[in-house]
């Protein structure tokens, strides 16, 4: 038992050493992203899949676990890419300080690596669309907010989703008539949409957090801000605080 306590004390001495702080923020960022993703997705998937999807109990259970794993993986991986990028950008800055657009660039990179290339995954699509909607609301608030005014608490076979059946026979609007351009837009549209959505939400959260919807702001604070702080081995790995 004494040996176990000695090992724990030695580990705590390491994790509280400032020279290891940056690398350990990545560890806790992954941890917080995975935990939050699992906590959010599991109950949602449990209800939606068991109520509305056909299949055996085993098939439904596996679908719930797959959706939960995917959501947790996405948020944990994004936290790693985003926080790593922020550290790299800060250390490569001439002043070694964060610059105004660092959060946008880091969010853009994270959005592309984690979400942009996973176009056929419904969990990834839901996350990106949710983030995009919150960005639109935040930008709308910024648009009507007087310049310079900030809140006191300031310091992300085809299927028709509407009808549920196959694609209708009416065709599209044919806005893009050039076939080569149309294919390019189809190929790059989702990657651009996902990457820019995450770039925008990380920028807005970093510099205008009061405009971000409260539940999203709380989740982003948990993953990207609170992961910078711990006071023991327990609050680094097991408990957030």
Question: What digits encode the pLDDT tens for the residues 9-56?
Answer: 899 999 999 999 999 999 999 999 999 999 999 999 999 999 999 999
Helices (H), the chain: 2-15, 21-52, 57-92, 102-110, 122-144, 179-207, 214-220, 233
Q: Could you tell me the pLDDT band of residue 179, with boundaries at 50, 70 and 90? A: confident
- pLDDT > 90 fraction of the chain, expressed in percent and rounded: 71
- Do the beta carbons of residue 107 and residue 202 sit within 8 Å? yes
How far is Cα 24 from Cα 12, in angstroms, rounded to an integer? Answer: 12
Q: Could you tell me the pLDDT band of residue 148, with boundaries at 50, 70 and 90? A: low
How far is Cα 113 from Cα 68, in angstroms, rounded to an integer? Answer: 20
Q: How far apart are the first and last CA of the chain?
A: 25
> Which of 27, 3, 10 has its CA nearest to residue 227?
27
How far is Cα 241 from Cα 237, in angstroms, rounded to an integer? Answer: 10
> Which residue would you say has higher pLDDT here, 122 or 152?
122
> Which residue would you say has higher pLDDT here, 151 or 131?
131
71 exposure class (CB count in 10 Å sphere: 0-12, 13-18, 19+)? buried
> Which residue would you say has higher pLDDT here, 240 or 132?
132
pLDDT exceeds cutoff 70 at 194: yes
pTM of the model: 0.86
- Do the beta carbons of residue 79 and residue 30 sit within 8 Å? yes
What value does the mean pLDDT of the chain take?
88
6 exposure class (CB count in 10 Å sphere: 0-12, 13-18, 19+)? exposed
- The owner of tokens 């002043």 is 95
> What is the pLDDT, as a whole number, of residue 128?
96
> Which residue would you say has higher pLDDT here, 163 or 225?
225
Q: Could you tell me the pLDDT band of residue 240, with boundaries at 50, 70 and 90? A: confident
Query: Where exactly are the structural domains of the chain?
Result: 21-145+175-238
């Amino acid at each position: 038992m004494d040996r176990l306590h000695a090992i724990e004390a030695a580990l705590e001495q390491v994790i509280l050493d400032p020279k290891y702080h940056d690398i350990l923020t990545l560890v806790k960022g992954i941890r917080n992203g995975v935990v939050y993703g699992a906590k959010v997705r599991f109950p949602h998937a449990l209800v939606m899949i068991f109520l509305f999807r056909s299949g055996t109990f085993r098939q439904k259970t596996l679908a719930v676990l797959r959706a939960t794993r995917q959501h947790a993986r996405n948020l944990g991986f994004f936290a790693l890419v985003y926080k790593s990028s922020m550290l790299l950008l800060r250390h490569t800055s001439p002043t070694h300080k964060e610059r105004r657009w660092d959060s946008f660039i880091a969010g853009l990179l994270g959005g592309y690596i984690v979400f942009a290339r996973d176009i056929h995954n419904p969990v990834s699509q839901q996350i990106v669309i949710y983030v995009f909607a919150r960005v639109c609301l935040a930008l709308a608030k910024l648009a009507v907010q007087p310049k310079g005014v900030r809140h006191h608490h300031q310091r992300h076979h085809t299927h028709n989703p509407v009808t549920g059946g196959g694609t209708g026979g009416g065709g599209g609007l044919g806005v893009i008539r050039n076939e080569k351009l149309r294919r390019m837009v189809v190929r790059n549209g989702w990657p651009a949409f996902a990457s820019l959505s995450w770039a925008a939400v990380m920028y807005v959260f970093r510099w205008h957090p009061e405009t971000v919807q409260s539940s999203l702001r709380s989740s982003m604070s948990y993953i990207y801000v609170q992961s910078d702080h711990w006071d023991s081995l327990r609050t680094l790995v097991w408990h957030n605080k």
